[in-house]
Structure 1
């Protein structure tokens, strides 16, 4: 079964291709902007995927870069695909940053990450997710919490499709010990972790408090990798004031090294399951 392509990933790929075409012509942003009667800011925002780009503007760029007919057709098709809507855009009240992340996640082939405080959204039970979202949305309009829960549950289909996402998470012990909801909610969540840990595409490890300082004391992160070589990996870092996408190859590599160090310090998958099972049993 072919996976639906993510418009967000397509936009990212198109932006990268347009930047590459300019660099091959050894042109600056200012030179392109002057020739097309645009601002250098507009060209920059197109190349960094900060704004969508119209088919007309893509055509003007390709004309200016003197792209061959076959290559032009390929990039125009990519531009058309990048304008298609993903399933999550039916929830038109989702914050832009969240919608952007879901778009990237939808096309991810594998994801590795470290969860510092709460269980990753892809592994959350509905009741746990509801408690997490309620805690985060101190002020929210009617129905907002339930819409967020619905979206979070829909995202989890990535783990169970015909060609499932490969998901490897390292959970800080705090994610196991922190009481989210009541004891029944936490116990169900821990049992859920045990269930998914048995799936061949999911790896769960626990990083005990006893480890002390480690490579990710700065907080949680996820490394997203895509099936197409044209789509380089990206690191997603979430914080209270906004989301950060790390894309420079050297920086992505640093997070990859940090993840490898965490793997070495964490309990192995079998010991992690026993750790989680014991914590679940202690809840009653």
Structure 2
């Protein structure tokens, strides 16, 4: 999945162009004058909100006084590869274009911290649980789109958690997740068992926030904090709600979510006690 990743290539190129502009001592406005474009175009290229064309790269390198042919060739190659088909071509229509961006960011993360209050995280879900969950959340979704989305979710798990250098994955779930019978008793029992198996991986930690802790920072606001690999831009907070998906990268937003992670970690049961809690809940679904 990481090889088929225009989002990461766009972020690498944008970050490199920002560095080169700053090294040249130019402002965004001055770079825009060289390209005869608006400053917003330069900002959007540097922030990976749009791709830079090979012509853009060539003109910016000239403006920044770049004479290293190897560097120019690397940047031109990135610009060319951004145009290659991404995960939409691989997985088909998933009903939400924001999902492709998220999967590509996830594939480039060195560490993933996820907090969920209503359901198990996607990287921990069984196929049956995922199907029942998506159908419950989006009852009007066409069957073929549903099945493609389930297949994409199942493909994410080995692509992220079983790759040669997997990210550090830390999942926090509110105890409510264990009680919400998504898909019925048998599906929930299998889901809980599956989560226990995944949690045994050395790079995975799963913690439960119990009901008796009351209110805590982050309660009611699920999110994913992605620490990106070096060279692919800033860290990202991903928030998914019913009507839209948001990607937060401002330092203030990242600081708040890091604080929330610290608070949630301190509030949750320790990893061993969390697994015991899940195992105990699984036994109730067996009766």
Flag whether TM exceeds 0.5 (same fold): yes
Does the 8 Å contact 1:89/1:99 carry over to 2?
no
Residue of structure 2 in register with 1:82 after alignment? 82
Match of 2:172 among 131, 145, 170: 170
CA deviations over 1:186-233 (Å, ceiling 9, x no partner) = 111111111111111211110011111112125111111233255432
CA RMSD of aligned residues (A): 2.2
Q: Unaligned regions of 5+ residues in structure 1, if any?
A: none
Query: For the Cα contact (< 8 Å) 1:5–1:107, is it kept in 2?
Result: no
Matches within 5 A, 1:59-74: 59-69=58-68, 70-74=70-74
* Counterpart Cα distance in 2 of 1:65 and 1:28: 11
Aligned pairs for 1:1-284 within 5 A: 4=3, 6-69=5-68, 70-87=70-87, 89-94=89-94, 95-157=96-158, 158-228=160-230, 231-284=233-286
Deviation sequence 1:140-171 (CA, Å, 0-9, x none): 23411111100000001121233223211011
Number of residue pairs matched by the alignment: 283
User: Aligned-pair distance for 1:254?
Assistant: 2.8
SS in 1 for 2:102: helix
**Secondary structure of 2:109 counterpart:** coil
CA distance in 1, matches of 2:46, 2:2: 26
Structure 1 residue matching 2:197: 3-state secondary structure? helix
Deviation track 1:235-259 (CA, whole Å, cap 9, x = no partner) reads 2122222222222334323322221
Q: Distance in 1 between matches of 2:76 and 2:284?
A: 58
* Cα distance in 2, alignment partners of residues 193 and 57 from structure 1: 47
Q: Following the alignment from structure 2 to structure 1, what is the Cα–Cα distance between the partners of residues 88 and 272?
A: 35
Using structure 1 for the length normalisation, give the TM-score: 0.91
CA contact (8 A) 1:5 1:106 kept: no
5+ unaligned residues in a row in structure 2: which ranges? Answer: none
Between 1:6-15 and 1:169-178, the stretch displaced more is 6-15
Cα distance between partner residues in 1 of 2:187 and 2:85: 35
